């Protein structure tokens, strides 16, 4: 083979990557040499893990690995096709039925990932003649879904974070025949909750759909971990579509959307990121069915998680950084300055504590932070150790 000349296309990308480096925005991955759990092994050292979304400590649970292995033995490695072709196997259906029963909705539809679930819902419901109203701090997948709806002719508006009055003004001013309110239930960088009762009341008053992304509430909040709707005592109303991810508290992977039988059937018929992708391996559905049982029986895990949250919040009161109100496993310690945040994360890392630094543009300018993710897998000693180290570094 003759030597290939370097491509000018590549050179352009390389120049841009250098700009990322110069701006301190170049991303890289760390290779983890252990299963997801209370600690993660990197570069031969065990690090205390405050960087996963494994809120109930299920990702490394042997019972789920067992269910996954048994599922693979019974159903093979792959599903072979998309759900609408021949890839919808009995374990997929059983999982959907279990998720519908668990969330209280008539029907649920499983997706390969939460990103794909969100990408399906908004564009399926909102095209020409529709309007989408989205919280400013919604997850990137909801923003991308909104852009797809816009490309299809929908009018899209973003309202200030959790601002019901601003949202009501936008709803009242909109002549659209179909309206969609789209929100995270638990905001992923701040851990705060959306005012779901107020949003539901507005949806009722303006005859709008309410699309809720419960990625961080499912399994954690509400009785039996049934999620944010249950936390607020809201009904599984026909105008609500509830999305939950299954790779966070549920510890496996995938996602679902629950709603009325009609809405789910419509999504199954029109959701492009549902239709044009291979169904997840059926063994994952087997593992998830087991996970759903552990979540339902998981009061002890949730007690431990909420004790850890309270312990961290109490202890952080003495630190020089702000810890905004968050009742969830996501605890944002606001440092402010980008470099100072990176230096703090690095100092923790050198002490075998893995806490990710989150910087703009992921969060607003001047609000760079440590995003501390807590889990039922943490002990009180783990929380104390993190607090003591932060105090020492302050
Ligand atoms: C993680 C996340 C998603 C995406 O879910 P995946 O299953 O990881 O693709 C969607 N929305 C929110 C709020 C999330 O945090």
* Same domain flag for 115 and 203: yes
Residue with CA closest to ligand 1 atom 14 = 215
* Same domain flag for 242 and 292: yes
pLDDT tens column, 327-364: 999 999 999 999 999 999 999 999 999 999 999 888 99
The best mutation among 51, 215, 255, 288 to test binding of ligand 1, ranked by most ligand atoms within 8 Å of the C-beta, falls on 215
Percent of the chain at pLDDT exceeding 70: 100
Q: Which residues pair with 182 in a beta bridge?
A: 134, 211
Domain that holds residue 168: 62-296
Atom of ligand 1 nearest to the CA of 184: 13
pLDDT, residue 26, reads 85
pLDDT, residue 271, reads 97
pLDDT tens column, 20-62: 988 878 889 999 999 999 999 999 999 999 999 999 999 999 9
What is the secondary structure of 66-107 as a DSSP string?
Answer: HHHHHHHHHH-S---SBIIIII--HHHHHHHHHHHHHHT-SE
115 is in an annotated binding site: yes
27 is in an annotated binding site: yes
Query: Which of residues 271, 296, 321 is at a domain's end?
Result: 296
Res. 101: pLDDT tops 70: yes
Q: What CATH code is carried by the domain that includes residue 230? A: 3.40.640.10
Terminus-to-terminus CA distance in the chain, angstroms?
58
CA Rg value for the chain? 22
* Same domain flag for 99 and 34: no
Q: How far is the CA of 114 from the centre of ligand 1 (A)?
A: 5
* Same domain flag for 90 and 232: yes
Atom of ligand 1 nearest to the CA of 115: 9
Q: Taking CB atoms and a 6 Å cutoff, what residues make up the pocket around ligand 1? A: 113-115, 118, 139, 141, 184, 188, 213, 215-216, 245, 247, 255
Average pLDDT, the chain: 97
Helix (H) or strand (E) holding 182: strand 178-184
Rounded to an integer, what distance in angstroms lies between the CA atom of residue 380 and that of residue 300? 14
Q: Are 246 and 252 in contact (CB under 8 A)?
A: yes
* Same domain flag for 254 and 134: yes
Q: At what angle do helices 114-125 and 261-270 cross, to 10 degrees?
A: 100
Res. 83: pLDDT tops 70: yes
Q: Are 232 and 202 in contact (CB under 8 A)?
A: no
Q: How far is the CA of 79 from the centre of ligand 1 (A)?
A: 23
Domain count, the chain: 2
When pLDDT is cut at 50, 70 and 90, the band that residue 5 belongs to is: confident
Give the chain's largest Cα–Cα span. Answer: 69
Residue with CA closest to ligand 1 atom 8 = 114
pTM (two decimals): 0.96
pLDDT, residue 2, reads 73
161 is in an annotated binding site: no
Looking at the domain assignment, is residue 271 inside a domain? yes
Q: Indicate the range of 96-105, 203-212, 356-365 predicted with least confidence.
A: 356-365
pLDDT, residue 347, reads 98
Averaged pLDDT, 168-178 = 98
When pLDDT is cut at 50, 70 and 90, the band that residue 1 belongs to is: low
Looking at the domain assignment, is residue 273 inside a domain? yes
Looking at the domain assignment, is residue 369 inside a domain? yes
Query: Which of residues 272, 296, 320 is at a domain's end?
Result: 296
Percent of the chain at pLDDT exceeding 90: 94
Q: How far is the CA of 3 from the centre of ligand 1 (A)?
A: 43
Which sequence positions are flagged as catalytic? 188, 216, 248
* Same domain flag for 174 and 222: yes
Rounded to an integer, what distance in angstroms lies between the CA atom of residue 337 and that of residue 72? 48
* Same domain flag for 128 and 241: yes
Averaged pLDDT, 171-177 = 98
139 is in an annotated binding site: yes
Looking at the domain assignment, is residue 93 inside a domain? yes
Q: How far is the CA of 115 from the centre of ligand 1 (A)?
A: 6
When pLDDT is cut at 50, 70 and 90, the band that residue 7 belongs to is: confident
Atom of ligand 1 nearest to the CA of 255: 7
362 is in an annotated binding site: yes
Query: Which of residues 296, 315, 343 is at a domain's end?
Result: 296
Q: What CATH code is carried by the domain that includes residue 312? A: 3.90.1150.10
pLDDT tens column, 238-257: 999 999 999 999 999 999 99
Those residues whose C-beta lies under 8 Å from the C-beta of residue 369, and which sit 6 or more positions away, are: 189, 332, 333, 334, 335, 341, 357, 358, 363
pLDDT, residue 344, reads 97
Q: How far is the CA of 32 from the centre of ligand 1 (A)?
A: 21
pLDDT tens column, 282-307: 999 999 999 999 999 999 999 999 99
Residue with CA closest to ligand 1 atom 2 = 215
Residue with CA closest to ligand 1 atom 5 = 114
Sheet holding 255-259, edge to edge: 107-111, 255-259, 240-245, 209-213, 178-184, 130-135, 155-159
Could you say which DSSP state residue 331 is in?
E
* Same domain flag for 46 and 169: no
Rounded to an integer, what distance in angstroms lies between the CA atom of residue 249 and that of residue 113? 14
Averaged pLDDT, 116-140 = 97
Res. 204: pLDDT tops 70: yes
Looking at the domain assignment, is residue 19 inside a domain? no
């Amino acid at each position: 083979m003759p030597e290939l000349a370097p491509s000018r296309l590549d050179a352009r990308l390389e120049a841009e990557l250098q700009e990322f480096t110069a701006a301190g925005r170049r991303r890289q991955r760390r290779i983890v040499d252990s299963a997801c759990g209370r600690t993660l092994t990197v570069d031969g050292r065990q690090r205390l893990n405050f960087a996963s979304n494994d809120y109930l400590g299920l990702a490394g649970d042997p019972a789920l690995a067992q269910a996954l292995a048994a599922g693979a033995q019974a159903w093979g490695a792959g599903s072979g096709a998309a759900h609408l072709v021949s890839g919808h196997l009995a374990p997929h259906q059983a999982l959907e039925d279990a998720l519908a029963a668990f969330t209280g909705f008539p029907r649920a539809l499983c997706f390969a990932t939460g990103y794909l679930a969100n990408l399906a819902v908004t564009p399926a419901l909102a095209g020409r003649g529709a309007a989408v109203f989205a919280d400013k701090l919604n997850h990137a997948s909801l923003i991308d879904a909104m852009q797809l709806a816009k490309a299809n002719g929908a009018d899209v508006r973003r309202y200030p974070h959790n601002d019901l009055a601003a949202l009501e003004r936008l709803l009242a001013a909109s002549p659209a025949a179909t309206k969609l309110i789209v929100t995270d239930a638990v905001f992923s960088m701040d851990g705060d909750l959306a005012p779901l009762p107020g949003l539901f009341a507005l949806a009722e008053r303006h005859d709008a759909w309410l699309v809720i992304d419960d990625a961080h509430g499912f399994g954690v909040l509400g009785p039996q971990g049934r999620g944010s709707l249950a936390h607020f005592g809201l009904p599984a109303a026909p105008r609500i579509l509830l999305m939950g991810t299954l790779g966070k508290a549920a510890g496996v992977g995938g996602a679902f959307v629950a709603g009325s039988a009609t809405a789910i059937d419509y999504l199954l018929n029109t959701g492009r990121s549902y239709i044009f992708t291979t169904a997840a391996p059926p063994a994952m559905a087997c593992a998830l069915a087991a996970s759903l049982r552990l979540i339902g029986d998981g009061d002890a895990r949730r007690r431990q998680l909420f004790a850890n949250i309270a312990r961290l919040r109490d202890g952080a009161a003495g630190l020089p950084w702000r810890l905004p109100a968050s009742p969830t496993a996501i605890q944002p310690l606001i440092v402010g300055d980008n470099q100072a945040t990176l230096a703090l994360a690095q100092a923790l890392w050198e002490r075998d504590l893995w806490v990710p630094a989150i910087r703009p543009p992921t969060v607003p300018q001047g609000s760079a932070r440590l995003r501390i993710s807590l889990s039922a897998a943490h002990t009180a000693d783990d929380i104390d150790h993190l607090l003591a180290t932060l105090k020492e570094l302050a």
